[in-house]
Amino acid sequence: GSEKPVDEWLEVLARYPGLSKEDKEVIPERSFMDAVAAIHEKQKEELHNLVEEYYNNLGEREITRKKGDPACTPTRYIPDSLEEFDEKNEASLTELHDAAVEYLKAKVRIFRSQIAKLSTMMPRVAASLFSDISERARKREKTSLKVLRDRYEDEQGEWMVTRDANNANLKPSLGNENARPELEALCVREGERHEQAVTATDDALINALDIMGKESWSLYNEVLHGASQLLALFDTTVQPADLVQTDEDVVAQRKTLITLLKEYVKIEAEGEQPPPPEGKAFHTREYKGVKQGKLGATPVFLTLQAMEEDAAAGAG
């Protein structure tokens, strides 16, 4: 076959430390099992050549570790001939090869099982993520509104004390003409208290809407970012369909979206339905839409803007 370019061999050698250019025939061209088979044949050939050289150089000398010697075991001894060695070596290599293949198959089954379990868990990731995002947004809003409410209630307590004091000072004697300055001063104090209460209430309402609008906008951005991250996660996560299918795959095939829609329509109709229109996989359904601008932070900010304009007009 044609030789690989020098730069390509350098890349291959960098990927497989310890591999020499002479070992290029064992580089997996198609699959891992092809590489294992190539290594098996290479080991058998190299051992055959090594032992053949040993027997050729043996001459008149005796084999020191023959089968049956006390220092040998049933599997560790030097055969009497090259043919016997090849037979013994083939059995040993086959045993190692079969053990490696079974180990690999077990690992493949475990890997496929893990991928199958992961595929069933992936849909929960989106639900968990968006639930976490919404819960955190709700807690942030609740905390901010609580701070605002506590401050408003503290101010309200002061107004009530002032109002009670003004009511206590509103005596029948103030109807006397001579007590008119005192009555006018009391009316001024009550008017200031009333104006302060109205202003603080308007401010609290506007601030509350501002908090809800900002948190709504933050929630929208987090959902948008989370959705893009989820899509990237789904695109880069191995799924059962990405694996090479084998006869031992036991992963149940899931129903397609079209099949589920058909079943849903049938269940909702509580019985059989006529076939869908020609060229359609299922019956067309219409859903009541949401008017543009009625969802999200936009309507909150518009309401806030209208209230501020009304407050400014009232002050003028």
Lowest mean pLDDT among 164-168, 176-180, 185-189, 279-283: 279-283
- 92-121 pLDDT, tens per residue? 778 888 888 888 888 888 888 888 888 888
Residues 146, 209, single domain; the answer is yes
If phi over 0 gives left and psi between -120 and 50 gives alpha, with beta otherwise, what is residue 85? alpha
Is the separation of the CB atoms in 143 and 215 below 8 Å?
no
Q: Average of pLDDT values for 158-186?
A: 80
Residues 99, 165, single domain; the answer is no
- Considering the chain, what percentage of its residues have pLDDT values greater than 70? 67
CA 204/CA 197 separation, integer angstroms: 10
Residues in contact with 212: Cβ distance below 8 Å, sequence separation at least 6, in sequence order: 141, 145, 300
Residues 103, 226, single domain; the answer is no
Q: Does some domain include residue 311?
A: yes
Residues 124, 65, single domain; the answer is no
Number of domains present in the structure of the chain? 2
Residue 125 scores a pLDDT above 80: yes
Residue 3 scores a pLDDT above 60: no
Q: How many CB atoms lie within 10 A of CB 7?
A: 8
Band (pLDDT 50/70/90 cuts) for residue 146 is very high
Residue 295 scores a pLDDT above 70: no
Residues 88, 208, single domain; the answer is no
* Amino acid letter, 156: Q
Residues in contact with 87: Cβ distance below 8 Å, sequence separation at least 6, in sequence order: 79
Lowest mean pLDDT among 176-180, 189-193, 248-252: 248-252
Q: Average of pLDDT values for 1-26?
A: 58
Mean pLDDT of the chain: 76
68: tokens are: 């049956």
CA 279/CA 262 separation, integer angstroms: 15
Is the separation of the CB atoms in 26 and 35 below 8 Å?
yes
Backbone phi, psi, residue 273, to 5°: -125, 155
Residues 108, 22, single domain; the answer is yes
Residues 106, 250, single domain; the answer is no
Q: Which of 112, 138, 170 is the last residue of a domain?
A: 112
- 227-255 pLDDT, tens per residue? 899 888 888 888 777 777 666 555 556 67
- Considering the chain, what percentage of its residues have pLDDT values greater than 90? 4
Q: Which domain range does residue 310 map to?
A: 113-254+286-315
More confident residue, 105 or 82: 105
Q: Does some domain include residue 268?
A: no
Task: Output the pTM of the full model.
Answer: 0.45
Residues 123, 174, single domain; the answer is yes
Q: What is the DSSP letter of 240?
A: G
* Amino acid letter, 296: G
What angle do the packed helices 82-169 and 32-56 form, to 10 degrees? 150
Q: Does some domain include residue 59?
A: yes
Q: What is the DSSP letter of 4?
A: P
Which pLDDT belongs to residue 143? 92
Q: Does some domain include residue 95?
A: yes
Q: Average of pLDDT values for 290-299?
A: 60
Which pLDDT belongs to residue 1? 40
Q: Which of 82, 112, 142 is the last residue of a domain?
A: 112
Is the separation of the CB atoms in 192 and 286 below 8 Å?
no
Q: Does some domain include residue 19?
A: yes
Residues in contact with 19: Cβ distance below 8 Å, sequence separation at least 6, in sequence order: 12, 13, 26, 27
More confident residue, 295 or 269: 269
Residues 213, 245, single domain; the answer is yes
Which pLDDT belongs to residue 147? 92
Residues 162, 306, single domain; the answer is yes
Q: How many CB atoms lie within 10 A of CB 99?
A: 10
Lowest mean pLDDT among 183-192, 233-242, 301-310: 301-310
Q: Does some domain include residue 187?
A: yes
Residues 300, 159, single domain; the answer is yes
Band (pLDDT 50/70/90 cuts) for residue 126 is confident
Which pLDDT belongs to residue 2? 44
- 16-61 pLDDT, tens per residue? 666 565 555 544 456 667 777 788 788 778 878 877 777 777 766 7
Which pLDDT belongs to residue 28? 47
Q: Which of 112, 138, 164 is the last residue of a domain?
A: 112
Q: Does some domain include residue 277?
A: no
| Beta strands in the chain, from DSSP E residues, in sequence order | none
Residues 59, 102, single domain; the answer is yes
